[in-house]
């Protein structure tokens, strides 16, 4: 039987066999929540890039660009890392080059997988429905924060494990821990993450309205998938 596993941070990805798995990359605050929102608002393609310099290069080539470092937008980019910045007609049909502190790295490191999908609470239901019928193992890759595990990505992993636990085996402790953390949290996700390092960081930066938005489940029927170097809607 197929199994579902969780990797708490890209720093542990070398311990997993991504070659035989579908990888679901998650960076709840806020890269993958942005990407799901972007496709829901009509973005055509998203190109995840590693560095600010690379992102500027694509800007010169005419791409829209989005950038974030440590929660803030560096000067000279059109979009920041807030899902609300994608809720505009400007993005419909656009190709956007994106670089963020954690999320884009997690995507680029997963390229050897059978398939790389972008997950968030916003598309949790669509993701679960799609994965349920797949014949491969699933690995949820949490983007974490600078290599360390974080609470909100772990909670998403647990939510996905909960929805798929009838269809996939839980053989490792990481998915078990994520599942139980989510079960403890799910009746009050917002309260549960209130003391987390990332929520405090976002609150210091004055962008706390993104937090409840990114914790909403099943808002969009969107499945971003990596094709070559580019994310597109499935």
State the binding string over 146-185 for a second copy (x if CB under 8 A, else -).
xxxxxx--x---------------xxxxx-xx--xx--x-
State the binding string over 7-26 for a second copy (x if CB under 8 A, else -).
-xx-xx--x-----------
Nearest CA-CA partner of 148 in 214, 112, 94, 196: 196
> Does 37 sit near a second copy (CB under 8 A)?
no
Instruction: Say how many residues touch a second copy, by CB under 8 A.
Output: 27
Strand-pairing partners, residue 140, are: 6, 24
> Does 109 sit near a second copy (CB under 8 A)?
no
Compare residues 11 and 54 and give the one whose CB is closer to a second copy: 11
Nearest CA-CA partner of 76 in 88, 67, 87: 67
Residue 149, φ and ψ in degrees, nearest 5: -60, 150
Cα separation of the two ends of the chain: 25
Strand-pairing partners, residue 31, are: none
Tokens of 122: 């916003």
Compare residues 50 and 171 and give the one whose CB is closer to a second copy: 171
* Minimum CB distance to a second copy, residue 131 (Å): 22
Angle at 179 between CA 199 and CA 219, to 5 degrees: 60
> Does 234 sit near a second copy (CB under 8 A)?
no
Compare residues 145 and 156 and give the one whose CB is closer to a second copy: 145
CA distances in angstroms from 49 to 45, 67, 76, 164, listed in the order given: 13, 10, 16, 31
Strands 4-7 and 137-142: parallel
Strand-pairing partners, residue 48, are: 98
Tokens of 183: 């079960």
* Minimum CB distance to a second copy, residue 47 (Å): 28
- Window of 51-59, 73-81, 109-117, 195-203 that interacts with a second copy by CB under 8 A: 195-203
Tokens of 144: 């974490």
Compare residues 151 and 214 and give the one whose CB is closer to a second copy: 151
* Minimum CB distance to a second copy, residue 122 (Å): 21
Compare residues 8 and 39 and give the one whose CB is closer to a second copy: 8
Binding site for a second copy (CB under 8 A): 8-9, 11-12, 15, 145-151, 154, 170-174, 176-177, 180-181, 184, 195-198
């Amino acid at each position: 039987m197929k199994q579902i596993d969780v990797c708490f941070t890209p720093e542990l990805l070398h311990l997993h066999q991504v070659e035989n798995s579908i990888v679901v990359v998650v960076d709840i605050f806020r890269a993958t929540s942005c990407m799901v929102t972007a496709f829901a608002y009509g973005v055509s393609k998203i190109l995840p890039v590693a560095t600010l310099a690379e992102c500027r290069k694509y800007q010169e080539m005419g791409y829209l660009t989005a950038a974030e470092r440590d929660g803030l937008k560096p000067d000279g980019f059109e979009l920041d890392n807030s899902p609300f910045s994608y809720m505009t007609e400007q993005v419909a049909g656009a190709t956007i080059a994106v670089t963020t502190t954690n999320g884009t790295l997690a995507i680029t490191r997963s390229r050897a997988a059978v398939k790389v999908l972008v997950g968030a609470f916003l598309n949790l239901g669509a993701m679960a429905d799609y994965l349920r019928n797949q014949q491969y193992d699933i690995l949820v890759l949490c983007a974490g924060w600078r290599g360390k595990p974080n609470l909100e990505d772990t909670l998403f992993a647990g939510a996905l494990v909960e929805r798929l636990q009838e269809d996939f085996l839980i053989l490792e402790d990481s998915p078990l821990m994520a599942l139980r953390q989510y079960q403890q949290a799910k009746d009050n996700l917002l309260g549960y993450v209130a003391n987390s390092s990332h929520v405090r960081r976002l609150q210091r930066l004055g962008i706390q309205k993104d937090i409840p938005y990114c914790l909403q489940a099943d808002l969009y029927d969107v499945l971003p998938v990596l094709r070559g170097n580019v994310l597109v809607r499935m």
